Structures are given as C-alpha cells and as structure tokens.
Structure 1
Amino acid sequence: MELQQLTVLLVEDSPMFRAMLGDMLRDLGVKNVVEKPNGKSAMEYLQGPEKPDLVCLDLTLPDVSGYDVCEHIRRTPAIANVPVLMVSARNLPEDKAYAEEAGANGYLGKPFTPEELAKRVRQVLKASVARSTP
C-alpha cells in the first residue's frame, strides 16, 4: 500500500502535537492528512462520504475518549475495517489492553521518533491489508 495514496485521519487535541504528527505523516509521503481536534469532530468526519485509510487517534481527548471513538468506528459497518493506531502519552499495560479491547490495531506511546511512527504505521496498514484479503 503506497503511503502517497492514503488519507489519514489525525485526531489530537494538542495543536502543537497535532501539527508535529501531521508533519511527520506528510514527511512519510502521506498526501492527505485530515486533522481533527477532538472525538466529536472526528466522528462527524467519519459519517461523511470520505473514508480514511488509517486513523491516528489520541487516547485522551477533551470530549469523547479515544477508546469511545475507536469503538464507534468498529460498530459502524461502513468504516469498521479502517485501521486505528492509538497514539498516547499513557503507556501503562492496561492502556494498551483497553485500546486493543476497543478495537485498535496498534499503539504508539509518546514521545516517539519519526522512524517509530513510520514503522508502526506500516505495521498497522500491512496487518490491515492481510486481514482484508481472502
């Protein structure tokens, strides 16, 4: 899967971190990064006609938690197969377990390097493609 063809929905409440993560994704070659500051705006976007190829989702959002957004994605047939990469400063084993339980395909703890982001994005996309091909 070519990163240039992807649309990534980036959900992060910190303007500084959202800009940094958006730049990292664009540096990886992702052409279309859709940035949303909270869970509600992300869920509204997901109800629209555009479907992202990947969702990078912060766990701690000001309105709806990343867990709830992830569960919403998994319960919505049109987007249920969209891979979700949780990105969070919360690095406890239970945070990762809850993310997996909510349906996340991967977990990336902050802080991280651009290389770690690239590796995790590719892992999540590769696993997603493997699951969707018969």
Structure 2
Amino acid sequence: MKKVLVVDDSKSQQRLVNGLLQTIGVEVNLVDNGESALEWLNNHEQPDLILMDIVMPDMSGLDVCRYIRKEMNYKTVPIIFLTTKDEDFDKFWALRQGGTAYMTKPYSPTELIDTVKNYL
C-alpha cells in the first residue's frame, strides 16, 4: 500500500485530503506543522509522496521541503504543494525549493486525486 504524508495546519483540510486519498486506497499520515513533519520523517519509513501546505505556524512548507531535499536526502519523493498562495512567483519559488508539483486551494477533488495518482 502506498504511503502519503499530509502536512497541513488546518484540521478541515486534513480531513478533506484524508477522505479523498482513502478513496484511492493509500495509507494517509497526517501532521499539523513542519516540525512534526520532520519528526515523522525521522521516525517512519520514507513515504511514497508528500502533500505540503506552505503557510504554517512554525516553519513554512518551503523550509521543510528544502530541508528534506538537502539534509535528509529525499531526492525522489514527490512533494506536491497544496496552498492558498496563487501567485506565479509563489509557484516558481516552491518548485525551485524542490517541490514536484503545485496546486492551489480550493481545488477540485478530481484534480487532487488525479495529481496524486500521477506521482504515485
């Protein structure tokens, strides 16, 4: 079973993504912030994909992405940013930090499922 880590400080967003991903039969792991994501990654088997918010209280999703790409050597794990930041510069910068794909909220359930399937 494929394993997805969801990093988002919004409980409603976590519930939504969890429900959508369970319909395609993946194991979903939820964390609330960047520090929790790093702790989870240090204590579990590498996930097959990471869905990451950018705006979070302790460290941004961009900082988390940069850290896991460089310090944890997660070079091949797809990181899909899922964020309200919708400027072209935001997308450009997120992909420069090591993101694989970029989706803005709100998104259609079909778009999220198709994107996740594409990278799994």
Which of 26, 41, 49 does residue 54 from structure 1 map onto?
A: 49
TM-score, structure 2 normalization: 0.94
Quote the offset at 1:28 in angstroms: 2.1
Moved over 3 A (4+): none
TM-score, structure 1 normalization: 0.84
- 2:88 equivalent to 1:93: yes
Once the two structures are superposed, residues 36-73 of structure 1 have per-residue CA deviations (whole angstroms, 9 ceiling, x without a partner) of 00000001111124111000000111111000011111
1:111-126 equivalences under 5 Å are: 111-125=106-120
Residue identity (%): 36
Q: Give secondary structure in 2 for the equivalent of 1:51.
A: coil
- 2:30 equivalent to 1:7: no
Once the two structures are superposed, residues 89-121 of structure 1 have per-residue CA deviations (whole angstroms, 9 ceiling, x without a partner) of 111001100110110000111001111001211
Quote the offset at 1:22 in angstroms: 1.0
Quote the offset at 1:123 in angstroms: 2.9
Match for 1:12: what amino acid?
D
Q: Give secondary structure in 1 for the equivalent of 2:58.
A: coil
Does structure 2 retain, via aligned residues, the 8 Å contact 1:8–1:52? yes
The whole-number CA distance in structure 2 between the counterparts of 1:28 and 1:113 is 15
Aligned length: 119
Structure 2 unaligned runs (5+)? none
Match for 1:17: what amino acid?
Q
Quote the offset at 1:85 in angstroms: 0.3
Quote the offset at 1:82 in angstroms: 1.0
